[in-house]
Structure 1
């Protein structure tokens, strides 16, 4: 009976193959663990840290405003402290000048005078009851300085809260606090409030644009109207708020837009 002879070179090749397979398996496991940690960091840790930071900032702003005693500058016109000026419908461009109150020609709800905030400074609080959202608003839409902190960013050059024109905001939909994660859940007539040092401005959701180009600058113009999908937007001056975020989820290819109109202003204090 012949006994097979195993040569040393064959053994060495087999050993090298086993080592290569083992090293490859270790490398794949290591890469998988690293990727898992990155996913956990992005989807859990950044949200946790950004939300905690945003909550602390909201609390700090409200403490600061409380110490200032309101500081409302719009009460001295003889209409009585705490009065809430109504916003005529003619402001939203619906035409006719009728505000539903009869004989209200010339009534104007003037926004409280506001100083220009510094770049990346948090200076207001956005409140959306349907989303359970209460988040700081900061000047600018830079990722590191504003959005990645879990804040909502104000597009520089657009109107400030309560001013004529378009108060335009951006926020993350995924990761870093994702304040606008459920922006698509908003419905017509939902309430959106903006608190500042001097007043609270209430807007009512009026229109939505489910998807447009990330470069669609028309949606944040003073009279917001999509230049990509012209059927969406407005044609008359008004007092608008614009909320923008990325869509679909976990991508930044397109933008979703929600518009609202100012319905009231309540001075603080």
Structure 2
């Protein structure tokens, strides 16, 4: 009889251990699920809302300056600014730009000959629109994740040209989470229109080349005359006014970088 009681006690103790382990696994699973929901859904909602608000702020300010939505104003007109609802489109580390080192990034090759437009750090100074993607998103100086990219903005690489100026107006954006404005830039094709609206006017670019994949530190893609150092068949050999969009690829990964180049047409 004592032997039977001891066996039953051991079974009960083993059952309690198994139950405790099952509860632990379930709790961990719920926590992981909540983390995924936060990263894939909640960060997008927050960032898109902030980006939409910033676009509205800029448009109100420019309206007070007497600048029409088409970019006319006293400084002269530009192309059609396009349309798009940032709520549905506003691009980890699958959204990091190339040549990022730490919190902020700047090309190690030095500045281009065209200075960036003056604006407070991390404050949006332009509005990027890509009609094919239905994208409308603010552009801020710098590519800091915390103060620019994670807010759902597109970041302007320090040292690269300003919008509409000779050189390379180079931008970075998240592809997944935090608004993911550049999630679908892989869908862009030659001839697609991209506009950049500033306080002064609207500039229109046309997509010219797409580099599907390159190394994260391929700094050639954001040079004044952009050309890939990893895949030299992609890029340009003559000065011009270029727009560069950079993001990570494949999705939900930061292994490589995807690059889209466009040329200024008006």
How far off its partner does 1:83 sit?
Answer: 8.1
Query: In structure 2, how many angstroms separate the alpha carbons of the residues matched to 1:197 and 1:179?
Result: 22
Alignment match, 2:34: 37
- Mapping 1:220-259, distance limit 5 Å: 220-259=222-261
Alignment match, 2:98: none
Alignment match, 2:132: 130
Higher alpha-carbon Rg: 1
SS of 2:145 mapped into structure 1: coil
Q: Would the alpha carbon gap of residues 83 and 182 (structure 1) be closer, same or farther in structure 2, given more than 3 Å must change?
A: closer
Alignment match, 2:112: none
Q: TM-score, normalised by structure 2?
A: 0.82
Query: In structure 1, how many angstroms separate the alpha carbons of the residues matched to 2:242 and 2:124?
Result: 20
Q: Would the alpha carbon gap of residues 189 and 165 (structure 1) be closer, same or farther in structure 2, given more than 3 Å must change?
A: same
Q: Would the alpha carbon gap of residues 69 and 114 (structure 1) be closer, same or farther in structure 2, given more than 3 Å must change?
A: farther
SS of 1:7 mapped into structure 2: helix
SS of 2:252 mapped into structure 1: coil
Instruction: Report Cα offsets for 1:53-77 as digits up to 9, x if no partner.
Output: 10111011000000011295645xx
Instruction: Report Cα offsets for 1:4-44 as digits up to 9, x if no partner.
Output: 76433322221221111001100000000000001111111
How far off its partner does 1:121 sit?
Answer: 1.2
Structure 1 residues 202-211 or 62-71, which shifts more? Answer: 62-71
The number of residues matched between the two structures is 227
Query: In structure 2, how many angstroms separate the alpha carbons of the residues matched to 1:175 and 1:115?
Result: 28
> Given that residues 78 and 202 in structure 2 are in contact (C-alpha distance below 8 angstroms), is that contact kept between their aligned partners in structure 1?
no
Query: In structure 1, how many angstroms separate the alpha carbons of the residues matched to 2:10 and 2:233?
Result: 69
- Structure 1: 5+ residue runs without aligned partners? 76-81, 85-112, 265-269
> Given that residues 116 and 161 in structure 2 are in contact (C-alpha distance below 8 angstroms), is that contact kept between their aligned partners in structure 1?
no
Query: In structure 2, how many angstroms separate the alpha carbons of the residues matched to 1:72 and 1:114?
Result: 21
Q: TM-score, normalised by structure 1?
A: 0.81
Alignment match, 1:56: 53
Query: In structure 1, how many angstroms separate the alpha carbons of the residues matched to 2:166 and 2:26?
Result: 57
Alignment match, 2:64: 67
- Mapping 1:12-161, distance limit 5 Å: 12-70=9-67, 72=73, 74-75=75-76, 82=77, 115-161=117-163
